[in-house]
Amino acid sequence: MDRRRFLKGLGIGTAGVVGVAAPAGAYTVGQQRGASTIVGDYAQSVNAGQRRGAVTVWWSVDTDSKVLALTFDDGPTSQFTASVLRVLGQYHVPASFFLIGELVQRRPDDVRRMLDEGHEVANHTFDHYSATRQSPAETLSTIERGADVIAAISGTRPRWFRPVRGHVTGALVDAATEVGHDIAMWSVSRDPGIGTAADDVDGVRTNYIEGIHDGGIVIFHDGIGRSAFEFSGPDELLLTQRRAELAALPDVIERYLADGYEFLGISDLIDRHAPNH
């Protein structure tokens, strides 16, 4: 396991996808088997002129403590969110939910339940478009709108933002920072680049269990992206993938608990265990 990776001094520009991947060989399709954070000052050209600021992008935390953050993307949805909350309640573990603003507006009671049950809520844009397909103005708008619909329920804009599909551009980093977010990626996923079939519950379970590491950020989903609200309706492949993930979820939680892991929200993971933070 490649551990204790700490990158500093990232320069970010507007055009294209920026170089925020972890070191070669350590990061593959959402699975970084070490602790990797990028902290740097950046200069960003925008229409109003030059902007300067600081950004932090987290994949995981470099720690020897048996702690992890369990996260869920793309909700809230009628298909999966209530079931996920029931499982989390059964095991008394907290999680962080990265929410799509369009769905927050449609299902505010789900968000209130997350908060009432001690979970952390975070921003996953309003419309679930990749920043690589949007102008800087559109990127800022979708992040702001996502933050504000959550704030209308929680009372404050969330601390954390996760980019759609993990696509990070200079404009996205600038926009997230302007809105007041830090950026949380992930280090453990359903398929670390090995081609696990959509309906392979056993394979998904194995990937989550074998991929865990101290300070890991684990990504599940309680939604199906834009297909939850597009006219074309739910994406059947995504539904199959999500069902496999969530079928594996109880066994994954039980194994993590048996191995001595403490479940934390993203904020607690960073604030309590990140070095030099």
Please tell me the distance from the alpha carbon of residue 190 to that of residue 181, in angstroms, as a whole number: 26
Q: What is the pLDDT of residue 57?
A: 87
Q: Which residues carry out catalysis?
A: 73, 221
Please tell me the distance from the alpha carbon of residue 141 to that of residue 145, in angstroms, as a whole number: 6
According to DSSP, the residues that pair with 57 across neighbouring strands are 38, 183
SS3 43: strand
Residue 35 within a domain = no
Residue 134 within a domain = yes
CA angle 67, 59, 17 (to 5 degrees): 170
Residues 97-139: tens digit of each pLDDT: 999 999 999 999 999 999 999 999 999 999 999 999 999 999 9
Residues 38-97: tens digit of each pLDDT: 333 332 322 223 344 566 789 999 999 999 999 999 999 999 999 999 999 999 999 999
Lowest-confidence region among 1-5, 12-16, 39-43, 220-224: 1-5
Tell which residue, 59, 11, 18, has the closest CA to residue 169. 18
Residue 240 within a domain = yes
By the 8 A CB rule, do 245 and 190 touch?
yes
Helix, strand, coil percent content, the chain, rounded in steps of 5:
40, 20, 40
Please tell me the distance from the alpha carbon of residue 175 to that of residue 177, in angstroms, as a whole number: 5
Tell which residue, 93, 73, 119, has the closest CA to residue 263. 93
By the 8 A CB rule, do 148 and 121 touch?
no
pLDDT band at 143 (very low <50, low <70, confident <90, very high): very high
Q: What is the pLDDT of residue 108?
A: 98
Please tell me the distance from the alpha carbon of residue 47 to that of residue 75, in angstroms, as a whole number: 33
Residue 206 within a domain = yes
pLDDT band at 26 (very low <50, low <70, confident <90, very high): very low
Residue 23 within a domain = no
Please tell me the distance from the alpha carbon of residue 184 to that of residue 162, in angstroms, as a whole number: 5
Q: What is the pLDDT of residue 193?
A: 86
SS3 203: helix
Residue 175 within a domain = yes
Is the pLDDT at 2 greater than 70, yes or no? Answer: no
The token pair at 49 is: 């002129």
Report the greatest alpha carbon distance in the chain: 53
CA angle 94, 115, 270 (to 5 degrees): 50
Is the pLDDT at 9 greater than 70, yes or no? Answer: no
Residue 8 within a domain = no
With a CB cutoff of 8 Å and minimum separation 6, the contacts of 48 are none
Is the pLDDT at 140 greater than 60, yes or no? Answer: yes
- Quick one: which H or E segment has residue 121? strand 120-123
- Quick one: which H or E segment has residue 178? helix 170-179
Q: What is the pLDDT of residue 32?
A: 33
Residue 249 within a domain = yes
**Higher pLDDT residue, 256 or 34?**
256
Exposed/middle/buried for residue 169 (C-beta within 10 Å: 0-12, 13-18, 19+): buried
Q: What is the pLDDT of residue 89?
A: 98
Q: What is the pLDDT of residue 70?
A: 98
By the 8 A CB rule, do 84 and 246 touch?
yes
Look at the chain and report how many structural domains it folds into. Answer: 1
CATH of residue 78's domain is 3.20.20.370
Mean pLDDT in residue range 223-249: 96
pTM for this model (two decimals) = 0.84
Mean pLDDT in residue range 239-246: 97
- For the chain, the average pLDDT equals 83
Is the pLDDT at 16 greater than 60, yes or no? Answer: no
Tell which residue, 8, 1, 4, has the closest CA to residue 62. 4
Look up the domain containing 119 and give its range. 63-273
